[in-house]
Amino acid sequence: MTLLEFSAVVFAGSVTAGLLGSLTGLGGGIVVIPLLTLGFGVDIRYAAGAALVSVIATSSGAASSYVKEGYSNLRIGMFLEVATTSGAVAGALLAADLPESAISLLFGVVLLLSSALSLREPARGDDGAASDPIARRLRLDGTYPSPEGRIAYHVHGTKTAFGLMFVAGSLSGLLGIGSGAVKVLALDRAMGLPFKVSTTTSNFMIGVTAAASAGIYLARGYIDPGLAMPVMLGVLVGALVGARLLARVESRSLRVLFAAVIALLGLQMIHGGISGSPP
């Protein structure tokens, strides 16, 4: 396979990864890493570096559309970024001391649990319950568009979500991903946000979290421009297409897709952790 053919195939696969990451809020990184390591035999460290660049592209591409359409809650995103970026730095510092197999096994279990929980109906912002004190003080409540007009929602579980976001950031630093699965779980389950609000707000946040980790990978020489470029461009195209499709897709369909993807990734990472060769 020539370099041009390799770049074209990687670009095509990255478009799919970006589309999926945009629709589910996972970020294309956790799809790109298995694609590069299992499909093309790329070293996981360079795959992680390219994936972090692609995660930033996903967030930049999709987030602009989501903000314009009124889905993303900017106040929630900016508040929780304090936790995710702090966690990303802590995770990156721990990455050198923990074996990859242990990290892979742990994250696989977390993804399987997230998959099971994501299929349960979360508390909704329009259930009549008042927002928690922190959410009221920070004015985190919001609205999102629907065919029937804008729907209001309230925010709950702010402290729990903040803690989960620190975990999400730590996983980003450890594994070189945006850890959108945990972000969506925190926003959707802990805070009780409507699913489309949680996925779009997750996309808004992922880029900043990934940038905190990407700086460390760049300093270590694990970001190869020849690999990162087709991945970044492909994910960006997929993210923009996903942003246009989101308004036409039912939340239940997104939830099932979200659960299936992270369950498969979880099984893959558990297998890698047990065999001693993480994906």
**pLDDT at site 45:** 76
**pLDDT at site 26:** 62
Which element (helix H / strand E) includes 29?
A: helix 29-34
Q: What is the pLDDT along the chain (279 residues), one digit of tens a residue?
A: 688 888 899 999 888 877 876 676 566 666 787 778 777 878 777 888 888 888 777 676 666 777 777 888 889 988 999 999 888 888 777 776 777 677 677 767 777 876 776 666 544 444 556 788 898 899 898 888 887 888 888 898 899 999 989 988 887 777 777 666 677 678 877 888 887 788 788 878 877 887 888 888 788 788 898 899 999 898 888 877 877 776 676 656 666 777 787 788 778 778 877 876 555
- Euclidean distance between CA atoms 271 and 279, whole angstroms: 9
Only one residue has tokens 């998959």, namely 115
What are 107's two structure tokens? Answer: 């994250």
pTM: 0.73
The number of C-alpha atoms within 13 Å of 69 and in the hemisphere containing its C-beta is 20
End-to-end CA gap in the chain? 23
- Euclidean distance between CA atoms 273 and 237, whole angstroms: 32
What are 218's two structure tokens? Answer: 């760049």
- Euclidean distance between CA atoms 32 and 15, whole angstroms: 10
**pLDDT at site 6:** 87
**pLDDT at site 159:** 92
What are 77's two structure tokens? Answer: 């995103």
- Euclidean distance between CA atoms 155 and 141, whole angstroms: 6
**pLDDT at site 125:** 46
